Amino acid sequence: MIKPTTLYFFLSSSLIFLVFIIIFSVKLKLQLPLAYLISINLTLFLLYFYDKTTARFSWLRVPEIILHMYALFGASPMAFIAQKVFSHKTSKASFQNTFKKIIAFQVLVVLGIVGFILYSA
């Protein structure tokens, strides 16, 4: 069962992401893959900023699964940067372990794609 807060942050952050996609691909005429990467990274940066701000005031927090989901789907560079900029989620071992697994998975995927391209050429 999905928690209501997880669903809320998934839907609201997805809307922000879609607005960024429209701005970058339609208004600024960037190619869709580039617009996607910029949009997902900006969305995650905003989520880290919001979560760090709300952590100080005990407001509604961004569920970790949402932060990990955006990192998994292409925003891991910004997740790393946001963690350092905001000093957020850097000392929580379980969060960092999952984040490292995401990075390792992405490296393996990229190596697999590069290997496939080189092998099939």
Output the average pLDDT for the chain. 94
Structural domain boundaries, residue 109: 4-120
Res. 1 pLDDT band, cuts 50 70 90: confident
Question: What is the C-alpha separation between 75 and 84, in angstroms, rounded?
Answer: 14
Q: Is the model's pLDDT at 113 over the cut of 80?
A: yes
pTM: 0.91
Question: What's the whole-number mean pLDDT along residues 4-25?
Answer: 94
pLDDT, one tens digit per residue, over 76-112 is 999 999 999 999 999 999 999 999 999 999 999 999 9
Rg (the chain; Cα; Å)? 16
CA-wise closest residue to 36 among 95, 78, 8: 78
Q: Is the model's pLDDT at 32 over the cut of 80?
A: yes
As for how many domains the chain has, the answer is 1
Q: Which amino acid is at 86?
A: F
Question: What's the whole-number mean pLDDT along residues 64-87?
Answer: 96
**Tokens standing for 31?**
């190619």
Q: Which parts of the chain fold into alpha helices (H)? A: 4-22, 32-57, 64-70, 76-86, 93-120
Instruction: Yes or no: say if 37 and 67 are a contact pair by the CB < 8 Å rule.
Output: no
